[in-house]
Chains A and B, each alone.
Chain A
């Protein structure tokens, strides 16, 4: 445990010096505040409190931004150490590969949690100040607070695995961007296309909700929307939130980090420095 914490502290210090901590916080806060201010201009007619609307916007923001930040933090983890030549030395120390990965994970997860809490917290504070009724939306906000790092954790694990597969930072960065595009952007578009083609058939009814839950980003969205009054505000793919049992999406968002990290460890074990 001493080793893991020492590695985590060192990794956090490196991220701090490389401005990654600042970049993550600024990006989260900037987007969250802009979305809140822009997104709540027309809520009066919907009859929903301002925080609920804000949370609905933040969920969408989180779906895109958290995986991106997590992949940016993690793609260099193994490949960068390989390329610099620091991995060989580290592996001759009495510290296991799982511990090395755990140290990096704790540091990176901390950065994501910090950025999400500050970013979402600032946006929520604006909503709470502007609307006295906004406290109705607090439970949904808390759910967002704790699920944000969990979503980040899934993509950190994916990022470490990609990093170990690629072994070179350039290749790892390319893979990370590709995975982000496919999982976060193209996956939903493909599902939508399938629904349109299917026209309300067996695919839409029996498979579609489960395919959504199988994607960590979609599971995060569904689980959070289910807690929010804002489901009514959701459109398109998000409309499926109503048809999925929250337990299924909860299992999905919790299972993803575990599976991704286990896979990352498996790949990392095969890396010869």
Chain B
């Protein structure tokens, strides 16, 4: 599989601040990679370097084998900036037709794209009258012009309502299915948890994690939470025999290391009639993110 996007040893400093620090990352065709990190972790700077909007101080970056920002790279790359903006005096359709022409696509494709992001009714209103969510959807529409092979999306779902978010991820899935590579940043962790193939976490310009969620989960070795529902009146007994903590009249919480999970479940099952139900909750992406983005890891 050829890598659509390949960065190695990339550095970028602003004065004494290292915005991107010795970062290496690849995104392959058909892959959806979520880029996570606190504000100021360097996500947007990294994206601007990939797009060629900003030169890197050091490192090799290849976008389809071309230099970032070169005419060849730009033909295949679509960008959705954070808080995307357009000229307020133009209508959505006019703006999109312009972008179609710049990408050498038929301007009439604009209508279809607007319908795809449900902006067809607002297409002939000025962008100045659009809500943030509508501008964001127009931003997505422009990114779809001309079948790009790499999507760089900076907080694409901010300002979108829940329905639009679902539609957005459905479109992403379609694009990835079609073989496009997708790199998106987000603060909405629960969304990307289920909708991306790999998680990359940046902290102070460095990549501190870069793997599928399951692999990060096992690497972090964060405890699994077992929630046991005891039969009425038996919660104390269950809590005592499992060495767990009782959280209410019937519930008992047990934290255990991932490798002990099956043994503990066995022990719970052995209590037989005392147990009403059991739920297994692996560490969420929020837990894993907090773990990897912590300032000092032991």
Within 8 A of A (CB), among B77-117: 77-79, 81, 83-87, 89-90, 94, 98-99, 101-104
- How far is it, in angstroms, between the C-alpha of A272 and the C-alpha of B19 when the chains are bound? 15
**A124 CB to closest chain B CB, in angstroms?**
33
Chain B: which residue is nearest A96 at the CB level? Answer: B71
**B22 CB to closest chain A CB, in angstroms?**
22
Chain A: which residue is nearest B48 at the CB level? Answer: A88
Q: Is the pair B101, A3 in contact by a Cβ cutoff of 8 Å?
A: yes
Q: What DSSP secondary structure best describes chain B's contact surface?
A: mixed
- How far is it, in angstroms, between the C-alpha of A132 and the C-alpha of B90 when the chains are bound? 47
Q: Is the pair A86, B86 in contact by a Cβ cutoff of 8 Å?
A: yes
Q: Is the pair A93, B94 in contact by a Cβ cutoff of 8 Å?
A: no
- Report chain B residues within 8 Å CB of A93: 74, 99, 102-103
- How far is it, in angstroms, between the C-alpha of A86 and the C-alpha of B98 when the chains are bound? 13
**B109 CB to closest chain A CB, in angstroms?**
14
Within 8 A of B (CB), among A88-111: 88-89, 91-96
Q: Given A92-B74, A94-B75, A10 and B81 touching (CB < 8 A)?
A: no
**B21 CB to closest chain A CB, in angstroms?**
19
Interface residue? A202 (CB, 8 A): no
- Report chain A residues within 8 Å CB of B81: 85, 88-89
Greatest chain A CB density within 10 A among B79, B84, B98, B142 is at B98
Q: What DSSP secondary structure best describes chain A's contact surface?
A: helix
- How far is it, in angstroms, between the C-alpha of A3 and the C-alpha of B77 when the chains are bound? 18
Interface size on B, residues (CB 8 A): 29
- How far is it, in angstroms, between the C-alpha of A265 and the C-alpha of B109 when the chains are bound? 32
Contact pick for B102, options A3, A86, A88, CB 8 Å: A3
Interface size on A, residues (CB 8 A): 23
**B20 CB to closest chain A CB, in angstroms?**
14
- Report chain B residues within 8 Å CB of A7: 98, 102
Q: Is the pair A6, B75 in contact by a Cβ cutoff of 8 Å?
A: no
Q: Is the pair A84, B102 in contact by a Cβ cutoff of 8 Å?
A: no
Chain A: which residue is nearest B139 at the CB level? Answer: A89
- Report chain B residues within 8 Å CB of A85: 81, 83-85
- How far is it, in angstroms, between the C-alpha of A2 and the C-alpha of B107 when the chains are bound? 12
- How far is it, in angstroms, between the C-alpha of A85 and the C-alpha of B83 when the chains are bound? 8
Interface 9-residue window, one of A11-19, A28-36, A63-71, A168-176: A11-19
- Report chain A residues within 8 Å CB of B78: 92
Q: What is the interface of chain A, defined by CB distance below 8 A to chain B?
A: 2-3, 6-7, 9-10, 13-14, 17-18, 84-86, 88-89, 91-96, 272-273
- Jot down 7 A-B pairs with beta carbons below 8 A, ordered by A: A14-B87, A14-B89, A14-B90, A84-B85, A85-B85, A89-B84, A94-B104
Going nearest first, the 8 A-B pairs with the smallest beta carbon separation are A6-B101, A17-B89, A92-B79, A85-B85, A94-B74, A93-B102, A10-B98, A14-B89
